Every structure is written in structure tokens, then in C-alpha cells.
Amino acid sequence: MGKVYLVGAGPGDLKLITLRGLELIRQADVIIYDNLANKDLILLAKDKAELIYAGKKASQHELPQKDINALLLKKARKNAVVVRLKGGDPFIFGRGGEEAEFLADHGVLSEVVPGVTSAISVPAYAGIPLTHRDRSSTVAFITGHEDEKKTTSAIRWHELANGPDTLVFLMGIKNLNVIADRLVREGKDPGTPACVIRSGTLPTQKVVAGSLSEIGSLAKKAGIKPPGIIIVGNVVSLREKLEWFEKRPLFGKKVAITRPHHQSMRLSNLLADRGAQVTHIPTIEISVIAPNKKLSEALDSPGSYHYIIFTSVNGVSAFFDALFRKGRDIRSLHGIKVIAIGDATASLLAARGIIPDYMPQQFTSEGIIDVLKGLAVRNKRFLLPRAKEARDIIVEFIKAQGGVCDVIPVYKTRLPEKTSPPDEKPDIVTFTSSSTVTNFIKLYGKDALKDAIIASIGPVTTETLKAHGLQVSIEAKRYDIPGLVEAIVKYFAG
């Protein structure tokens, strides 16, 4: 017999999952998830995990609750770890109590992992504190959608209208007018500040605020649809001063990343932290060249080189993985000077135990040449582990100066085996190398960039874009990921 974990997935923002919840998602044999759980959490499951969508959209259930209960029981009897992933918190209008009760009745162990409920987190992301020393000492959480089988409402409307300072209705967008009218009828001041929030904590968050008497018409005019929450109380007026989430510089902008998925985390995080809605369109896959006889021979006598030049993080990874596979470590590189093309490459080298001796001001091959101009190149031997497809200007410079450069391809780029264009057209498409440009056009054509703002990491990538007849609106001044993000932010600020 297995065990069922009722895990709260949080309100939507991927980073609001708890550490315990994340741990269980990675351990789960089966994950049964709802519509409100962030789908990116499912991507964190182990490869062999069984993933089952239980639906439960507003007014549209893929599986009735009784079937979900039966499914939990069936899977628990076969598997060690079953995760029931629920939006928000399992016990705050999430029917987790019913599921736990059903499992207990059938002798199945369950554990509850609380989640960050939308009842408190969504107002916070909208700049609305539910309690405030001067404005609200009490708060009530109310379902906005009672069980349709009930003959009478269990909600004490008169007490709500005349009691708690702040009211939070969950799943009530469909009944917004009914809720507002009933509160006013029971004594609530029609001028009380109110708001509705859709897609709270996400880059698509939308907030509509007004008085209680007009909030229904304002929400309809703004096209607010379920799911969402309703807040009624004087604390809503603090939003004008405390609003922060929507003021982030890239809020609501859809930004596409064309880098390999496993290398896009830093760019994705930096963009998301600034409010962007990030979508991934990987146009490259990286594959290490193995076996690699030429690299193996170079690693047998690394001391014959005076310098090693690393022009990418991929080159660093492939080189050191090969070194370690031979049973060697960084002591084999004693006395060799190391040149890194930029911060990211230098950081990965540092993680491998190597502090680069040289790094150019401009993170390009031309910048590497500027470094070489300050060195005695004649009669020196250079090792250059790099991509199979790369420019030769570094090699040509070294040879012209009387040096020797052994170029060893250690990885190659290729088109992804599985590709799919984004569901929605992005506002901005980022390109971090010439390969991402070339491959994007091969996969989707230039028309896919029509009306999109094109952002380039630097002049080499820009030249490739221009060679394809594309207009570049944004080019990083510092040719790395933080520089690209800074340039995008500055573009919209200007």
C-alpha cells in the first residue's frame, strides 16, 4: 500500500511552491493534478512518473470528485508515492478535506502539504494587505461558488455585510453581481472599495478595482473571466500606493527564449523577475562529440600547451568532463594560462576549480584577440576546445603572430528533434548566438518574427540577423545574458 500526499501547488507563480511540495513532486510515482496547478511543476517530475490531469476548471470538470477519489485509492494501492497536486492550499476550498476523509475511510495513509493559498498571496501581489493596523483587524474567506445541490445558502450574508473588515471570495467571478448585490442588500456600504483579480501572481495578472456597487460592470467591461478572486474592504484602496507586481519593467511582455532549454534558466529567471511572461522556443540542441580521439590525445599531454582558450560554457563542460573521465583533475593543467571569453564561461571554470588568467572587456572572439595582442604569442601553443561550427578569427590571428593553435571540436549544435511554435505570438524574441538565428529561420521562417521586437546579445548575432533581412531593435551593450536583459529593460523604459 502506498501513501497519498495532498500537496498545495500555490497560487500560480512557480516559485511559490513549498520545499516539501517540490521534494514530493520529484519523488512521486504518480501525480494527479488540477487545472490551477502550474503546469511547469509537472516538468519537474521524474522521467517514469505517471501524470494524470484531473481538470476541475470553473464549471468544467474533467473528472467528477467521486472519480478522483476512486483514482487516488486505486493508485495508492499500486504505488509508493502518489501526489495529489492542487492549486493553492488543499484545505482552503480545495476539497482536500473530502479526499483525505475518503482515503482514511479506506485505510490509506495520507499527508497534507500546505500550499500558499491564493486567498492571501493574490491580494499581496496586487498590493492589497488583507489586514492593516488602521483599516482592517478582521478578515473572512468565503466561497463564491457553493455546492449547487444545497437548497439554502450556508453563507451568513448579514453577518458578512456587517462584520469582518475584509472579505475575500474565492471562485466567485461568475457570481460577482450576485455577491455584490447581496452584500449591499444586507447592509454593506455600496461605496466600499472592491476589486477582482484574475491570474494572480502570474505575468498575465489583471486587476480591476472600483466601488462595490460598480465592480460587476467594471469587471464585465474589462473582460474578467474565471478563475479569480474578489476582495471587498477599505484595504483595497491601499493598492494605489502599494501596487508593485505590475510595476515591474517587463510586466505583461511575452518574451521568447531561443537558447537550448537546459541553458535558458538564467535568462528565464532574470526576465521573469522583471515581470516578463517567458516562453521557450529552443532552436538548438547541444551534443558532445564522443568519442573524441583528438581531445583525448591533447589531454594525455596538456603540459605541452601554454594557453587554453574557452569560448563558451559548452566547451568548458565538454573539456572537463573528458578530463575527469580520464581519471585526471585540474592539477593536470598546472602552469597553463587560461583565457575565458566572458563571465558565464569564467563562472563555470571557477566551479571546476579554475580562475581564468585573462578575460576580455568585450565578450566576443574579437575581445579574445584584444587579449592576445597583449601577450607574447610567437612560438606559443594554444588549445582551443570549441564548437564544431565556429568562426576561425582567433585561430587565424594566432597563426599570423607565429603561434600554434590546436582547434578541437568538442561539441556540435543541431536542430531540435521536437519543435513547436509558441501558443501566442511573443512581443520580444531573444537571440543569443548566430546559431539561434539561423536555426529559428530554418524551423519557422522569417514571417514568424513579423511584428516581434528582436533582441540580440551582441554585434555578431546582430550581423547574422541583418544578413537575413531582419531589423534588430535591441542590442546588448554588454555581450552576455545580464547585458541582454538590461538592454531589453532599457528599451521599454525609454
Report the half-sphere exposure of 408 (CA within 13 A, side-chain side): 27
Kindly name the residue from 56, 86, 188, 206 that is annotated as catalytic: 56
Whether the CA torsion 298, 300, 302, 305 is positive or negative: it is negative
Catalytic annotation present for 171: yes
Whether the bond between 291 and the residue before it is cis, its omega within 30 degrees of 0, is: yes
Catalytic annotation present for 253: no
Contact 157, 197 (CB under 8 A): no
Within 214-351, residue ranges assigned H as helices are: 215-221, 239-242, 265-273, 293-300, 313-325, 343-351
Residue owning grid cell 513532486: 25
CB neighbour list of residue 210: distance below 8 Å, 6 or more residues apart: 193, 194, 195, 218
Give which of 424, 423, 421 is closest to 441, Cα–Cα.
Answer: 421
Q: Please count the other Cβ atoms lying within 10 Å of the Cβ belonging to residue 60.
A: 9
Per-residue burial over 266-278, b = 16 or more CB atoms within 10 Å of its CB, e = otherwise: ebbebbbebbbbb
Catalytic annotation present for 466: no
Q: Please count the other Cβ atoms lying within 10 Å of the Cβ belonging to residue 105.
A: 10
Kindly name the residue from 75, 89, 171, 188 that is annotated as catalytic: 171
Residue 450 C-alpha cell reads as: 513579423
Alpha-carbon dihedral 75, 79, 80, 81, rounded to 10 degrees = -50
DSSP state of 36: T
**Catalytic machinery residues:** 34, 56, 171
